[in-house]
Amino acid sequence: MVLARILAGHPSVREIVAVSGSQIGKLLTEADPGLDLSIRDRTAVTGGRLVSIEEAASLRPDVVFSALPHLESSRACAAFLPGSVVIDLSADLRIRDRALFRAAYGEEIASPGMAAGAVYGLVEWFRDAIRSADVIASPGCYPTVSLLPLLPLASTRVISGTAVVNAGSGISGAGRKAVTNNLFSERAESYTAYSPGKSHRHWPEIAEKLRDARPDMDVLFTPHLVPMRRGIAATTVVALAGGAGVAEVDGALARAYGSAPCMRLTGDRIPQTSDVWGSNRCDIGRRVEGGYLMLFSAIDNLVKGASGQAVQCMNVRFGLDETAGLELHGLL
């Protein structure tokens, strides 16, 4: 429901059509009591109620956000094409190499051709392509927190070899499905790694985009489940290339993000999740240890790692202020 809450306060959003497969006919304010009743003005076209995909498609919306599970989301998106700009928050369209996608997710989506025309929605790197895209694949939270610090350095050959990424996520990163291992009683006072190295299904997404920036690089990615509700922090260790040091690292990061409104470079200070909680910001810090670079990055997985980033894509696509409707200050 984070997406609905962001759109509810967006200055350029006039109408919202909320879609559900299991709660059709229910008032949106009942499905999410956290929404203020003023949302009814923006959902008047459907009487403030959740509707089916078919009814939503008949209304021909300007933009569609799909946040369904992987392998289902792209099927729903197809109902709105052509005619609407589609922003998919699932992994269905993010990976260009479909063999990698099938290996990670077990099967192919119903319309694999849709992925070929999708633009990857990491705004800080694909802003120009997003401006004219009809299908946008909004990145995952783990790829976002991993790629944003690495891409400026890989593309300018400041780093080389294999990047080792260790990232810790709050429980909300696993979604809302009822899984015993995600219950508070199971996660409280416990911290663990899972799907290490190249076994997590977000690894292909991270590896593909990193290799686009520097083909001879590799990545080992290990996520950790942290007993908190939301937020992701990543520590990345990678070798410096060609005698590069702090000046080269800072220069590459500044050139990439110095004017990017949703990025903050913290230098030696290590960012933490409470800095960015509730915001669409990614904070990046760095330290050099001998021939190695340590990168520290933090995002809110529900905002810059999901709904906020999708809205940022919409803003760019429709020529709006890139930060419209988005919070840049941490809320803690």
Do 305 and 144 meet the contact criterion of CB atoms below 8 Å apart?
yes
DSSP codes of every residue in 18-45? -B-SS-TTSBHHHH-TTS-TTHHHHTGG
Q: Tell me: the pLDDT tens digits for 21-44? A: 889 999 999 999 999 999 999 999
pTM score over 0.85:
yes
Q: Does 141 qualify as catalytic in the annotation?
A: yes
* Residue 228: per-residue pLDDT: 86
Angle at 230 between CA 39 and CA 173, to 5 degrees: 95
Active-site option among 141, 262, 282, 313: 141
* Residue 251: per-residue pLDDT: 98
Residue 82, preceding bond cis, omega within 30 degrees? yes
* Residue 108: per-residue pLDDT: 94
Q: Tell me the average confidence (pLDDT) per consecutive run of 10 residues in the chain, 332 residues long.
A: 93 96 92 93 95 95 95 92 96 95 93 92 98 96 98 98 96 56 62 92 97 97 91 97 95 97 98 97 97 98 97 98 97 81
Do 101 and 95 meet the contact criterion of CB atoms below 8 Å apart?
yes
| Type of residue at 166 | N
* Residue 187: per-residue pLDDT: 57
User: What is the torsion angle, in degrees rounded to the nearest 10, for the CA atoms of residue 146, residue 223, residue 2 and residue 297?
Assistant: -40
* Residue 65: per-residue pLDDT: 97
- Can you list the domains of the chain with their CATH numbers? 2-139+304-317 (3.40.50.720), 141-301 (3.30.360.10)
